[in-house]
Amino acid sequence: MRLLNATTFEFEEFLGPCPAYAILSHRWQDDEVSLQDMNGDRATGKSGYSKIDMCCREAIKHDLQFTWIDTCCIDKASSAELTEAINSMYRWYQDARVCFVYLSDVEESEVDAQDLDALNTSQFGHKLIAPSVVKFYNSEWKFLGSKQTLIDLIPAITGIHHKMLEGGADPESFSVAQRMSWVSKRTTTRTEDIAYSLLGIFGVNMPMLYGEGERAFTRLREEIMKHSNDHSLFARTIKKEGYRGLLAKSPASFQHSHDIIPSINKLSEVPYSVTNFGLSITLAFMPWAMDTYFVALDCERDDIYDSRIGIYLRLLPERNQSLDGMDLKTFELSNFPLIHLRQTTEVLSRNVWDDRERFLKLKVGDRGTAGRIWYESADKSRYMVIKLGFDDGFNPGDRLTGMCETVQLVAVSISKEVVGGQRMWVVDIQHVV
């Protein structure tokens, strides 16, 4: 580990145990000082030098001879050193005697919720979690408070559990969803850094591959699944339209999952795994709508006794179908099977109806689903009632009952087809002459 001497401003390297040191948490800005700048004569001329100088001064006030600052203590020209640093980052923050959090855009003498909200989007979660002592400073390096004095404010803004902030708690004692939520608001200049910042929190290691983009988070998920059978990894919410898959693509999908914990009573004892065909997982499920299933995860809300988290999964319409994950839901919500009417006559409906798309949504019942279509002859002198019935597996039952008089007006056929990229029952109504 390379440390900066707070008195001489010279670097010293330690291969074994390190002396006590302070560590700096800050928002990267333009004109930061690098390792090469510090070893040359350009450091003092850069705007980023002032926080290095002030960090060293503050370390000396705390009777510490060394500091570690990510801008200048890592040789970023070496990919091997950069990989080692990122994989060791959590431990380095954890081992620091004190962490100075420098809020460069805060000018007030007291920290408030808005200041910490800015911190939440700009700092790594482990910089608040790992160190036992964290102290906040404004743009003038005036002391604002510590992690202990702000213990009520930080969880409300960041979502980090207060037990984690109080110290002594192991990140492994919190669910995957909870830990993801701690950095769900974080933004980074480089997409990969969102995943790399979570390595220490999840206790995993992996090589750095800048340029891989969202693939970094995919690799992180795979590493987590190698060591965990926690279903809260799937307890995410995504507002994006279209196919989204079962797994989240970033921690942002866990913003509302801070209170989701593993269930004590398991519905599935089979561990999940990643294969060359994708995710292999066994889940309890029930039919919910056409090619849509309601799946129960082995996780629940922390403050709701004996609750259960569920998600909707839908079969994709392509060949070699897989399941597409839909938003996180609770058991009380309902869904609707879709029916497409392919006749050319005018439709009068109590439901929302688009004469161009011609979709009829039937609300799901407790023991099945049923709906009625009234069919009128062209001269409006005769009519019939077409009853559409589906069992709890959304298979059609008796589909044609009830006629006015004894005249057969139409021929009805029902088939399962893909319409508009979505599988549904298609009802053909043909007039019988």
Does the pLDDT at position 369 exceed 80?
no
CA 286, 292, 295 angle in degrees (round to 5)? Answer: 40
Q: pTM for this one?
A: 0.71
Tokens of residue 266, six digits: 């398991």
> By percentage, how much of the chain surpasses pLDDT 90?
30
Using a 10 angstrom Cβ sphere, with 0-12 exposed, 13-18 middle and 19 or more buried, the burial of residue 189 is exposed
Rounded CA separation 136/142 (Å): 8
**Would you place residue 398 in the very low, low, confident or very high pLDDT band (cuts 50, 70, 90)?**
very low
User: pLDDT digit string (tens) for 40-71?
Assistant: 988 999 999 999 999 999 999 999 999 999 99
User: pLDDT digit string (tens) for 186-206?
Assistant: 878 788 988 998 999 999 999
The arrangement of strands across the sheet holding 134-137 comes to 11-13, 2-5, 66-68, 21-26, 98-102, 134-137, 143-146
Q: Which of 158-162, 242-246, 259-263, 393-397 has the lowest mean pLDDT?
A: 393-397
**Would you place residue 433 in the very low, low, confident or very high pLDDT band (cuts 50, 70, 90)?**
low
The arrangement of strands across the sheet holding 284-289 comes to 284-289, 292-296, 310-315, 323-329
Q: Which of 13-17, 161-165, 204-208 has the lowest mean pLDDT?
A: 161-165
Long-range contacts of 201-206 (CB under 8 A, 24+ apart): 201/90, 201/125, 201/126, 201/129, 201/171, 202/171, 202/176, 203/171, 203/172, 203/227, 205/87, 206/87
> Between 287 and 83, whose confidence is greater?
83
**Would you place residue 285 in the very low, low, confident or very high pLDDT band (cuts 50, 70, 90)?**
confident
Name the residue among 175, 217, 177 with its Cα closest to residue 194: 217
User: pLDDT digit string (tens) for 125-148?
Assistant: 678 888 999 999 999 999 998 988
Mean pLDDT of all residues in 283-307: 79
